[in-house]
Structure formats: C-alpha cells, structure tokens
Structure 1
Amino acid sequence: MARLTPPALVMLGSGALATARRLQACYPDARVHGLRGRVEAQACNIVYDELGAHLRELYTSGTPIIALCAAGIVIRCVAPLLANKGAEPPVLAVAEDGSAVVPLLGGLTGVNVMAREIAAALGVPPAITTSGELRFGTCVLNPPEGYALASLAQGKRFVSDLLAGESTRVEGDAHWLDDAQLPRAEHAQRAIRITPRVWNGNTDELVIHPRSVVVALADGEDTVQRVREALAAHGLSPLALAAIVAPATCIGDETLAHAAETLDAPLRFAPVVPGGDDLPARPTPRALLGAALQSNCAIVDAASGLALAIADQPIDAHTVGRARGQLTVIGLGPGSADLMVPAARAALAQATDILGYATYVEMAGPFRADQRVHPTDNREEMQRARHAFELASGGRRVVMVSSGDPGVFAMASAVLEALETSDGRDWADVELAIVPGVSAALATAAQAGAPLGHDFCVLSLSDNLKPWSIIETRIAHAAQADLVMAFYNPVSRARPWQLDKALDIVRTARAPETKVVLGRDIGRPGASLVTTTLGELRSADVDMRTMVIIGSSTTRGFARPSARGTQREWVYTPRWYR
C-alpha cells in the first residue's frame, strides 16, 4: 500500500510525547496531534479540542491514525463510521509508553505493515490477530501499488479455503508473495492469477489485476462507454486500466476529466505535432500512445477511435505523458494548525511543490522528501505567482501558501493578476483553485467574542501598494458609515506614524468609549488579546503583528465570572441596529 498521506500521531496526554517522538523517527512526515489543555501546544504540530470528533475527521479524510492511548477509546470514537472495510485508513492504538502496538482497522490498506514498522521502531512485538497474516506472513488480499484485487468477497473465500487446508499455485508475476508461507502445490486446484484479463467468476481463483493497460483516444466524446467497450472487446478488466491518454489540446476538458474519474484512472496528455500551416494535426490514438509511453508495450488499435497499450508489468501513470498541472492557493489560517481548513491540508499533502513567503512555508511544514519547497522574500509576490504557473504548466501539483485567507491581502490576487497578464495558453490550462482560510480578523474576532457581528470593513494601513491619501479617505468614509473596522498592517518601523493618523480620523466620528480589540499573534505561540477603548488606545500598544478591531457605535462588552472565580470580557456587535 502506498501511503501518500503521512500518519497522524494523536496524543491524549503529555506522557505519550516521548513515544511520539520515537515514531516520528519512523515516519518523519507525521504530525503530532495533542489535546488542548493536556499537551503543551509547543510540543504539537496540531492541537485539537475533542478526541472523538478529531479522530472521526482524520478517519473520514483517509489519514492513517496512530493513537497513543487505549484501544477501547479509539474503537468507541470511530465506531459510528465503520462501513466499508476496503476504504478505511489504517488505525492503530499504541500504548503511551510504547510497550504495545495494536492494529485495529485497515487490514486491506496496510495496517499490519505499519504495525510491524512501529513495533520494530519500539522494539516490541506487534499484536497482529489477522489469521491470514499470522499463517502466511502477509495479507494476500492487499497487493502492492500497481495491482488491484478483482473481487474482495471472492478473495475472502479464497483465503478461508487456504486456512482450512487447501493449497494453491501462483500464475504470473506476484513477486510480493515470494517469501509468503503459502501452502503451494504445482497442480493445486486453486490458483492466484496475476492477469489484466477480466475474472470469469471461477471461485477457485484469486485474480489480481496489474494496472498494465493504457488507453488513448483522440477526443473526449463518449469516453466512458468507448473505453469500457474497447476493454471488453479485448477481454481486459477495467481494474487493469493504468491511465487514459488524450491530446494536449484536450487539457481543461471537464467532460474528459469526469470520464477519467468515473473510470478511476489518471488522465494524462500527449503532445500534438503541428500539421501543415502550423495548424494542429488530428493525432491518431496509436500516435498518442507512442508519444506518451516511455516503456515498451504492445499497442493494439481498437474500435471507436481508440488504441490500447498492454504491458507485461504495471505501468506507473506518472511516466505516461504528463498530467494537467494544478495550482492551489491556500491560507494557513492565523497560525495554529488546528485552524487550517481540511481542504488546505489535503492540498499540501498532494503537492509536488510548495511556494510562498519563507515564514509561511515553514509554518506549512513538515514536508515529505519528495516535495520541493520554494521559499521567497515577502516582497516577491508577482515573481512567486509566475513561478507557480511555470511549475504547474509543466504538469506539477503546486500549492501557493499564504497566511490567513489567501484572498485577504494575500497571494490569491497576485496569482490572478499573473494569469490575467499572461499571454500563453499553457497557464490558462492550469487547474486553478483557491481554498478559503481563517483570516486574522476573523480569528481575532472569535477570540474576543463577536465584534464583527454586524457590518464591517477590513483595511490595510500599509501604503506600500496604495497611496496614504486613499487610505485616509477610506478610513473617513468607514468611520462616518459607522462600520466596525479591522486594521491590518497597522504599524511598522518604516511608518510608525500611520496608526495615530488613522485613529485621529476615526475619533472624529466615534466616541472615546468605543470598544477596541487588539489581537497579537492570535493562533500562534505567545498570543495575546487585549480589550480597550478608542480613547485609551495608543500606537505604542500595537505592532505589525497586531490586528486592530475598532467597534461601531453599537459594539459593546460585558464580563461574566467563571466557576474558578476569574472573569473575562466578551465583546460583540449586536445583529440589530437602531
């Protein structure tokens, strides 16, 4: 099994931290998840609030889970989600002190392989209970990457027969079974067959399909039906399909992309050789295969304008033509990993290249050894955006990292400007997505209560990219309109005077008792939250890392004592207006 997603090391208490660190040596890309209030935030990559909800989120996203706690706790947490055994990620329970490793779920997705890896790292025996694994030393129903089981139900019956005393022979190349302790016999009635040919339903066979077939077609019309008919005509299983090849002129064809998703095969593209008068020639499917394949395969023309390539071994789709490039612009949120949206996390896990301001790129890590990181200076936005498109137009999966939300004073605007001003089609063919994030204004507001509960505006006080006169005009209008205002970039060493100028403007329209919230490094270590008033606020209270939220005339605050005898002030802006 190929683990594209690093496992999550989930701790309930700080007593498991030493074991988690040992397991990070085994899985360098794994992140440590700690329960808020029970584990110091500095010791974790991700802090969560409730174990059950967190484990269910990880499970649903397909993330392998290594829970450093009692097995029963994990079982009760994920029990409501147990349905499809073939689709579940590996889930293991590991004792806090590393004395026990218990694989719980994911027998068909490599959980026992992980159990052995973890046990070897901790120097203890894994508590594997799967009968087939114990008897044969491997999971016969979990072939390696590049192979697919024809029928899980038949596979279970087949393994049961072997456990009951039947013997088997192996037909075809099943190298991963060479060292398995299978009951083999040359003339056994039962057989494990490795073949791209469709399984005929023989219950004496366990059929495993190598993904060794590539289909090429010159256009995307009726793709699903044509491919299925071509495979059936040659007696080939759809599970043996390694990739679908189309001409590069079809990049961006959503119908073709949907068809490839339906057929569960990567969509790859081959270059088109220009015809006469520099017009694109209509490539034949055979020519597309010849241009896309790096390995020797038997190429067979099929009906409906298709061609098939059949190899002796599984074909790595990454070696066939090239993929449509992807550029995903994400926001990390305010800094805490648990405030990053799952879609941003998924994009980082799938990326080949990560770009961004060096500080934000570092916050987005750790990264796998096969991922390329391109950190740059904070003032190189357009160069960074163009570099991202250059990488993506070459077929790579690129993530552009911003803090907060990528569309709020961040990289989404630069990326779109780079695209608008480009003159090449290659960039337009890139699959572009912008994933929302939690902005600093929203994070600070949530910590304070709900100061943005009614109409508000967001303003940057930096005049690096716009004249100060425009900033002054916008502040004046927002103050007169009685909007709550959130100030980004309020103060810097180069412009220490601007916040005072902005406050002078606001004070012409707001009362001195107007509520003000100052959030510094919210979501990061050392965060602080201060509630004050417009009359008391001084620029010395603020630096570049502070979010300043100035309330409207209706914004109010109140304090309530807690059970511990302490109290804090909540600030909110009512939904009504009078």
Structure 2
Amino acid sequence: MDASPILLVLNEAGLGAAEDIARRFSTARIHGLAGRVPSADTQFNETIDHIRLLFQAGHPIVGFCASGILIRALAPLLADKTTEPPVIAVSEDGSSIVPLLGGHRGANELARLLAKALGGHAAITTAGDTRLGVALDAPPDGWRLANPEDAKPVMAELLSGASVRIEGRADWLKEARLTEADDAAISLIITEHPEEGSPTRLVYHPQKYALGVGCARGCDARELIDLVEAQLAGAQIARGAVACVATIDLKADEAAVNALASHLDVPLRVFSAEELQRETPRLKNPSNVVFKEVGCYGVAEGAALAAAGPFGTFKVEKQKTDNATCAITRSPKTIDVTASGRSRGHLSVIGIGPGKDDWRTPEATRLLAEASDVVGYSLYLDLVESHITGKTHHNFPLGAEEDRVRFALEEAGKGKNVALISSGDAGIYAMGSLVYELLHRNEEYGGVSDAAKRVSVTNAPGISALQACSARIGAPLGHDFCAISLSDLLTPWEVIEKRLRAAAEGDFVIAFYNPVSKRRRTQLAAAREILLEHRSAATPVILGVNLGRPEESIRVTSLHALSVDDVDMLTTVLVGSTNTRTVMRGDGKPFVYTPRGYAKRIDAPGAAPAASKPAPTEEKSAQADVQDTENNT
C-alpha cells in the first residue's frame, strides 16, 4: 500500500474508533460527512460520490459504517481486482473488521492491524487465507507467479480437497495448510528456470537475479531486448526470476533501458559512477574505455553486482552487441530492489483545478497519493492537505516560481517521486511550461542538472479557471475564445496590447488571467477601453472569484461597468463577444452563453423544417437548446 488510508466516518457513532486508529497510524486521515462529523480532517457532502473519488484515486478506504454502503458505492466501478485499492468495512464500535476488496493487495494485512489496535475481529473471507493459510495468486515480495491466470482453477481444486505436489523449496509455503501427496495431479513448481505452467501446475520463480545493462545513446530497444533474451535463454534463467534491470544513472532516461524494464515488468534501478566504481575488484571485464567515458570500469557488470549485493556472483559475464551490453548476477537470496541504487526519479505536474475535490481528476488525486514529496505555493498545498498527509512538504512563496520548479526537478533527479502542484491546469499560465523550459535550457543558462533532466514527467490536466467560470454561469465559451494574461511582469505591455487588439478585432470571447494585483491597477482598464472600440458597452462580462471554494462568488456585469475595484488576483474575468447573450431565468438568476450558429442553420433560406431534416443526435439536441433559449428570451 503506497497511499495513506482514508478513515471514512458517517456519524458520531463511528468517530471514536476512527480517532483511535488515526492516533495510532499517523498518516491516516479522517474524512467525515459534513454536518455530522464536524471534527473530521476533511468533510464531504455526497457520500457515494466521495467514496468513488477516493477509490478511483487509489486510496485505501476504511469505512466505519455498514459494509452495504461501501458495496453499493463501489459496485459500478469494479473491474480489475489486481489494481483496485484495499477497502475495509469496520463496525462503528470497532468490533468487526471486514476486508471487502483488495485482500491480497493489503486489505487483509491492514484488517489484522486494525483488529489488533481496536481489540476487534478481522473477518478475513479470502478463501485461500482462511482455508489454506496462503494466497497462491499473490506470492510474497521477491517471488513471481509465472502463470497467474491459472491460479483460480488451482485454488478451486485445493479448496475442494485436492492434494498437491510441491517441487522445490519456498519457505513461505511451509505454514500453508496444504495436503501434500507425491502422486497429486496438482503441482506447485519452485524454480529459477523457465517452466511451463498450466491449470494444474503453478510455477513460482524466486527473484534472485539482477540484470545489469549498458548501451549507446539512442540504442534501438529491440537490440537490447534481444541481447538480454538470448542471455537469459542461454543461462536457463526464467524471466520471472529477474528482480530488476540495473544501470548507471546516466542511462536513467535511455529509451531502450526503460523499454527493457517494461518488457520484463521489473523495476529499473540506477547507480552513480562512484557506486559502480566500488565494484571494480569484482569485475570480470574492466574497461579503460568505459572509465574514460563514464567514470567507472564497467557499467553492465558493475550494475549487476551492485544490485545483487555483496554476495552476488556472476551467472553471465558481460556480453555485447554493437550498441548494447548486459551481464547477469545471482544473489543467494531473493533481492530487495529497494535496498540498493535508486529508481528513476519522477515528477508529476499536477493541476488540482480551482480547489474543489469534485473538480480534481482521479488521475491528479492518484498522483498526489503516490508522491513522496509535494512542492507548491502554500495555498495550493492547503487545498489538497487531506491527500498529502505524511508526505514531505516543500512550500514556496508567490514570486518564487522558477525556484519552485527547479527544486522539484532536482528532488526528482535524486530518485524521488515528486508532485509539483498548481491550481487550475498546470499547463495554462502555471508551472507546466516552466518545467519544460528548464528541461530545455542548458545548465549554464539557468537550466537544471543532468540528473534532473533524466526524470520522467507526467502532466496531469486540471480544470482551468476559465472552464470553471464558464460552467458556473452557462456557456460563454461556446464559440471561439482566447486567454490573455494582463500581467506585464514577464511579457511587455506593448505585446499584451497588440494581442488585445487582435482579439478584439477577431471578436473572440476573452478570458483574462492575472487581471490586477496590488501593483498593477491600470491594465484591466486599458484592456476595457480597447475592447470598447470593437464591441458594445453592454457586452456581458463574468467575474468569477474563488471558484470551487466555499467563498465562491460569480456575477455578471457589462463591459461599460467593469471596474478594477471589482477584481483581484483571485478573479477570473470572461468578456463576451458581440454574439454573447445574457438571459434572465424565471428564478431571477442569469445565464450567459455564446451561440455557435445553429439557429442560423435552422432559419437559412430553403432549409428543411427542423423536424424533417436528418441530423446527428448531438446536432438535434443543440438545435433544441437554441430554440428553448430563444423562447426564454
């Protein structure tokens, strides 16, 4: 379990048990139903929606409630049990703890811990655990089942009383309640060599081998993979017995190396030249050429030895092709891949939306949960505080954007999983572009180190302020629009003014970002005057403040009445085009939209009546909406 468990509480009756667990597990956070659990770390209003959001984001869920609530909420989402997070139901008094989902992905283990803490009973219902004392489809760390698709029929036979033949040795099977027989039709094979499995034959591989590799920059992935496959086959080593792919940190971003790790479905571990140099006395094929290139006498052999540990020995010495090398070592015990080297660093550039949980994508929430470190402006970190408990926080003030991004990249360059947090969408007037700019710059011109350049990057989109503002008031962005930042901190005003005039002449709906600040009080007024040269004083203007937050407000004014005193840095300003319309509804609330022209198509000379004109369903729906709007007007 990588993510912190969420303790879901629906009323005061379950709060005591949840608080007991929260005190014992520092990373656990209490999420409570608003109005019923006021002391919760995070409050929510819609129970079913909130449970689904947490589940889709990968959070383990411990619900202090009836199991039926969790079952009804999650039933539509269930698809792949191998990827779903643990879900546990706990009775409100803490006496019964029932793992509902993810028994072999941490739920059973967590349930036992909860039962011990609460003095309750862990009602483990997973058949393998209860009847056989072992989960044959989920071997422990350091082991791999070669044919997981056959585990279900084998388990079914064993649960029906069938005996089993165990060939080889695996300490984790010693305590299993299995009936063994030499002539059993079902067999469990423990081997480091390639073996075929079947619905009556499960093959388990102890992961004792480390695969060290090196390659020329730009090496074709197929060349490296073919070299490795040939050496594994020649040495009679099963793919599943390989614990990791290891190399020098200079190759952390090498496409072929990453493709190989993906091909074998094992982690990539990287080592510095200094770490690999310590393995020199054990190398079989030291190379002066390699030393001159990267600072150590062997990459493939050195990495294989470093990953296997001090008692590792060569199974395959360095083998090479024109552009690739590999070596294979064996450890006397299964390899703990987290104990040596480091992973390739990862940076998640996360747009958290305007701040509301409902407006953040499941991908963004999942990436937050997976990160070890979070970097951002303190206000943004506060907005996702319940999702980053227990992680290392790095707060940066406004105005330190470049320092913030550079720090995030450098920390990721150390092998960490870092989340860089932006409000809205990180790629729209936020940190996304700066990440890629720093990756593009040379280090001497303010870029980042080579280690930082080798990290993998995920850019998770978020709901931008312009989208949120538009959705709250109707559909003012229904036709062509653009976004313009009025901040001249990084862009000269002359350039901004040129863009304003072009947008005004093009009759775009315009979203203004950074409209005013304490220092800048004239740009918005100047923009209004430019726009008034091209569109009516009555043009609708929408002002959205603190969108998605409790203090949210949104109102409609006109271009003529737009005042700088009504706007601050937390305000999104949308200015309509000449076609944008404001309509007052029967409840006294306005909506604003910009038509796309469907009404003109309906009213065009010679056009067939709408009822008889064949059209896609979406078009018919759009035309009906336009007609309804005209009636309202």
Preserved contact between residue 354 and residue 372 of structure 1 (Cα < 8 Å): yes
Does 2:469 align with 1:444? Answer: yes
Residue 243 of structure 1 corresponds to 244
**325-334 or 498-507, larger mean C-alpha shift:** 498-507
Cα offsets for 1:347-382 (capped at 9, x unmatched): 323323322222223334346677432211211122
Does 2:412 align with 1:401? Answer: no
Aligned amino acid, residue 397 of structure 1:
N
TM-score, L = length of structure 1: 0.82
Aligned amino acid, residue 256 of structure 1:
V
Distance in 1, matches of 2:7 and 2:291, equals 60
Residue 486 of structure 1 corresponds to 511
Residue 206 of structure 2 corresponds to 210
Residue 554 of structure 1 corresponds to 579
**339-348 or 140-149, larger mean C-alpha shift:** 140-149
Query: Shift of residue 339 of structure 1?
Result: 1.6
Residue 331 of structure 2 corresponds to 311
Residue 289 of structure 1 corresponds to 304
**117-126 or 325-334, larger mean C-alpha shift:** 117-126
Paired residues for 1:2-151 under 5 Å: 3-9=1-7, 24-25=22-23, 28-30=26-28, 45=42, 51=48, 62-67=58-63, 69-79=65-75, 82=78, 84-95=80-91, 100-135=96-131, 139=135, 141-151=137-147
Distance in 2, matches of 1:230 and 1:194, equals 21
Distance in 2, matches of 1:247 and 1:277, equals 12
Paired residues for 1:114-513 under 5 Å: 114-135=110-131, 139=135, 141-152=137-148, 153-154=150-151, 157=154, 161=158, 164=161, 172=169, 174=171, 182=177, 196-198=192-194, 208-219=204-215, 221-271=222-272, 275=289, 278-280=292-294, 283=298, 285-292=300-307, 294-301=309-316, 305=320, 306-366=326-386, 371-423=391-443, 425-513=450-538
**Change in 2 beyond 3 A, CA 1:427/1:571:** same
Aligned amino acid, residue 209 of structure 2:
V
Distance in 2, matches of 1:41 and 1:496, equals 41
Distance in 2, matches of 1:537 and 1:207, equals 72
Cα offsets for 1:24-46 (capped at 9, x unmatched): 446554566678x9889996758
Query: Shift of residue 12 of structure 1?
Result: 6.8
Work out the percentage of aligned pairs sharing the same amino acid: 36
Query: Shift of residue 159 of structure 1?
Result: 8.4
Distance in 1, matches of 2:521 and 2:495, equals 18
Distance in 1, matches of 2:554 and 2:468, equals 11
Query: Shift of residue 298 of structure 1?
Result: 2.0
Preserved contact between residue 271 and residue 291 of structure 1 (Cα < 8 Å): no
Residue 537 of structure 1 corresponds to 562
Partner of 1:108, secondary structure, is: helix
Distance in 2, matches of 1:109 and 1:318, equals 19
Distance in 1, matches of 2:588 and 2:372, equals 48
Aligned amino acid, residue 392 of structure 2:
R
Distance in 1, matches of 2:18 and 2:476, equals 39
Distance in 2, matches of 1:26 and 1:144, equals 26
**Change in 2 beyond 3 A, CA 1:68/1:450:** farther
Query: Shift of residue 215 of structure 1?
Result: 0.9
Distance in 1, matches of 2:488 and 2:189, equals 69
Query: Shift of residue 69 of structure 1?
Result: 4.8
Preserved contact between residue 212 and residue 247 of structure 2 (Cα < 8 Å): yes
**494-503 or 234-243, larger mean C-alpha shift:** 494-503
**Change in 2 beyond 3 A, CA 1:383/1:507:** same
Preserved contact between residue 48 and residue 338 of structure 1 (Cα < 8 Å): no
Aligned amino acid, residue 345 of structure 1:
T
Distance in 1, matches of 2:116 and 2:588, equals 50
Aligned length: 568
Residue 281 of structure 2 corresponds to none
Query: Shift of residue 434 of structure 1?
Result: 2.7
Query: Shift of residue 285 of structure 1?
Result: 2.9
Cα offsets for 1:319-342 (capped at 9, x unmatched): 443433323322111111232223
**164-173 or 454-463, larger mean C-alpha shift:** 164-173
**Change in 2 beyond 3 A, CA 1:67/1:370:** closer
**Change in 2 beyond 3 A, CA 1:222/1:63:** farther
Preserved contact between residue 370 and residue 417 of structure 2 (Cα < 8 Å): yes
Preserved contact between residue 408 and residue 439 of structure 1 (Cα < 8 Å): yes
Query: Shift of residue 263 of structure 1?
Result: 1.0
TM-score, L = length of structure 2: 0.76
Aligned amino acid, residue 157 of structure 1:
V
Distance in 1, matches of 2:88 and 2:81, equals 15
Query: Shift of residue 17 of structure 1?
Result: 6.3
**379-388 or 192-201, larger mean C-alpha shift:** 192-201
Partner of 1:523, secondary structure, is: coil
Preserved contact between residue 103 and residue 115 of structure 1 (Cα < 8 Å): yes
RMSD (Å), alpha carbons: 4.1
Preserved contact between residue 407 and residue 413 of structure 1 (Cα < 8 Å): yes
Structure 1 residue runs of 5 or longer lacking an equivalent are none
**Change in 2 beyond 3 A, CA 1:76/1:370:** closer
**365-374 or 165-174, larger mean C-alpha shift:** 165-174
Residue 284 of structure 2 corresponds to none
Aligned amino acid, residue 115 of structure 1:
A
2:595 alignment partner, one of 564, 574, 577? 574
